[in-house]
Amino acid sequence: MSRSIENIVILTGAGISAESGIDTFRDAGGLWEQHRVEDVATPEGFARDPELVQRFYDMRRAAVQEVEPNPAHHALARLEREFPGELLLVTQNVDDLHERAGASPLHMHGELLSALCAICEARHRWTGTLIEGPPCPACAAKALRPDVVWFGEMPYQMDRIYRALASCDLFVSIGTSGAVYPAAGFVQEAKGHGAQTLELNLEPSEGSHWFDESRHGRAGELVPEWVGEVLTT
């Protein structure tokens, strides 16, 4: 990376949490914890079999509370604290490992530790289960669902993200396959506005050719190394 950097947008995906023990989505033959994506991550799947979907997310909500942030999460939290310019950390992940490392990410695909009321649209911090159909604390409807963005639904805060992509001078993508839109298109968006682009991933992602620079390896090693470079230049 050459010229001086004042405004960074970082996008993270499942790869940054892999070394904490959370499975990525597309590395295990297209199955998530033995389920087909269309059964557990679409509004149609939820309408067809709400119990299956609630049980799936209850299990993942419990599991995420058993794992810890890794050196990549800690390095980004350090960057957020110490970088003197503007920085927006956008994550596709629904875990809370960035927060537990001390960062403040924008969760574009929602959060496991949150429940969304399908009636009043209130969002509530939720660490327990939803399978038993508890009432919404705001409106009392028994219509709470996982607060995650399924295929066909609109990710959160897209206006804010596109504004940041239009004004950043560096876009960095970490641990994401580049298979899911709109996040997969962020690199082109940032490039179109003149930003430098960097990919940190275990292997070349689907959109690897769009990046000015790609570094391949484990996030737990690449991210602390890159953060060290940014903070010393």
Does residue 109 carry a catalytic annotation? yes
Rounded Cα–Cα distance for residues 179 and 67 (Å) = 25
Catalytic position from the list 73, 74, 107, 109 = 109
- Applying CB under 6 A, among 109, 172, 207, 224 the residue interacting with ligand BJW is 109
**Beta sheet of 170-174, edge-to-edge order:** 106-107, 86-91, 7-12, 170-174, 196-201, 213-216
The piece of 1-9, 81-89, 142-150, 165-173 that touches ligand BJW (CB under 6 A) is 142-150
Nearer Cβ to ligand BJW (21/85) = 21
- Applying CB under 6 A, among 154, 159, 232, 233 the residue interacting with ligand BJW is 154
By CB under 6 A, is residue 151 in contact with ligand BJW? yes
Cα distance from N-terminal residue to C-terminal residue, the chain: 10
Do the beta carbons of residue 176 and residue 182 sit within 8 Å?
no
DSSP string, 160-179: HHHHHHHH-SEEEEES--S-
By CB under 6 A, is residue 120 in contact with ligand BJW? no
By CB under 6 A, is residue 77 in contact with ligand BJW? no
Query: Alpha carbon 221 to chain centroid distance?
Result: 19
Least CB distance to ligand BJW at residue 177 (A):
3
Nearer Cβ to ligand BJW (84/152) = 152
Q: Which residues are catalytic?
A: 109
